[in-house]
């Protein structure tokens, strides 16, 4: 935890299975005024920490019947949760196959209440992702779980009440495979080039995602990052930096387009301030807060 001046205030956590320890962290949610919800997909548990480093309340462990919960979408207004995971299904490694994703509703104590939605995730051929694979994305706002994979210009919705909600269309365009490869090619080595030729020969690998990232700001607006093959490809470890972001209300109506500087990975937006991660010339990461201006 850092103060407004950037000075380090508190360190918490550590590697392990004990209280307040983690094997891996892939979701961090700030809950005003002074708590952080931290999700460890290896342990399948959510730990709530105060900004002074103390554990706040019980740790919640989630269990799914046909997979290991690995993506935390967030908490609904009644204190229940939405999580997602890859369903373990057999597939032919010679075929272009999307991950089958489950999105489920969990009680405040971690018990599974039922399935909210089914979706798809990363596209694979053999043991790895195709170069322009989309990626499952999800966020909870109030009583709705917003989820997508970026392969189509829409965001799907699953309400905690299980009432059907139509998808939200987005005003986005995508790239051709040729244009996407031209942007990725300068970063590819000879093995990548040979692998790309192999993948292109397989049936079904014929599209580029519309978007690659989805955030929810402090005003419950959706931030959508247009897919950039040079930084969002799984072959480049999804650095997710820079780019053009579309801002929309939760009904899909557009608010603005925001240009994020190259090399800056946007992580959170509150009012007119945006927080993220950059790297210096030696590759060392640092936290940066920037102003959002018109």
Residue 142, pLDDT score? 86
What is this structure's pTM? 0.92
Cβ atoms of 55 and 46 within 8 Å: the answer is no
Q: pLDDT value at position 197? A: 87
DSSP result, 179-240 = HHHHHHGGG--HHHHHHHHHHHTSTT-----SEEEEEE-TTS-EEEEEP-HHHH-GGGT---
pLDDT along the chain (294 residues), means of 10: 87 91 93 92 95 90 85 95 89 81 95 94 85 94 94 95 92 92 92 86 81 94 95 89 94 93 94 93 91 87
Q: Are 222 and 146 in contact (CB under 8 A)?
A: yes
pLDDT at 181: 93
Q: 35-40 and 273-279 as β-strands: parallel, antiparallel, unpaired?
A: unpaired
In this prediction, residue 38 carries a pLDDT of 96
| Residue 252 pLDDT | 87
Tell me, what's the pLDDT at 211? 97
Phi, psi for residue 235 in degrees, rounded to 5:
-70, -15
Which 3 state secondary structure label does DSSP give 65? Answer: coil
**How much is the CA Rg of the chain, to the nearest whole Å?**
19
Element (H, E) at 156: strand 154-159
Residue that has been written with the tokens 């997508």 in this structure: 148
Residue 170 has a CB neighbour count (10 Å cut-off) of 19
Q: Find the length of the chain.
A: 294
Q: Residue 124's pLDDT is what?
A: 87
């Amino acid at each position: 935890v850092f103060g407004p001046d950037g000075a380090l205030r508190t360190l918490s956590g550590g590697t392990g299975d004990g209280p307040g320890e983690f094997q891996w962290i892939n979701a961090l949610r700030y809950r005003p005024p002074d708590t952080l919800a931290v999700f460890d997909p290896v342990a399948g548990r959510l730990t709530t920490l105060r900004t002074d480093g103390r554990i706040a309340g019980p740790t919640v462990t989630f269990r799914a019947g046909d997979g290991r919960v690995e993506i935390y979408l967030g908490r609904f207004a009644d204190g229940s949760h939405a999580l997602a995971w890859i369903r373990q299904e057999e597939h032919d490694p010679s075929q272009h196959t999307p991950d089958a994703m489950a999105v489920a509703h969990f009680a405040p104590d971690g018990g599974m209440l039922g399935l909210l939605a089914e979706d798809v995730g990363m596209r694979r051929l053999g043991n790895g992702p195709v170069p322009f694979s989309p990626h499952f994305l999800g966020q909870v706002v109030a009583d709705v779980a917003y989820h997508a994979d970026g392969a189509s210009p829409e965001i799907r919705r699953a309400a905690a009440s299980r009432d059907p909600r139509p998808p939200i269309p987005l005003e986005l365009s995508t790239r051709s495979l040729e244009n996407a490869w031209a942007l990725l090619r300068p970063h590819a080595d000879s093995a990548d080039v040979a692998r790309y030729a192999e993948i292109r020969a397989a049936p079904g690998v014929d599209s580029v995602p519309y978007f690659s990232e989805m955030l929810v700001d402090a005003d419950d607006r959706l931030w959508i990052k247009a897919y950039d093959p040079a930084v969002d490809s799984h072959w480049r470890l999804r650095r997710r930096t820079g780019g053009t972001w579309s801002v929309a209300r939760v009904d899909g109506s557009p608010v603005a387009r925001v240009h994020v500087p190259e090399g800056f990975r946007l992580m959170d937006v509150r009012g007119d301030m945006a927080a993220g991660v950059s790297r210096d010339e030696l590759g060392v990461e640092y936290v940066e807060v920037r102003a959002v201006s018109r």
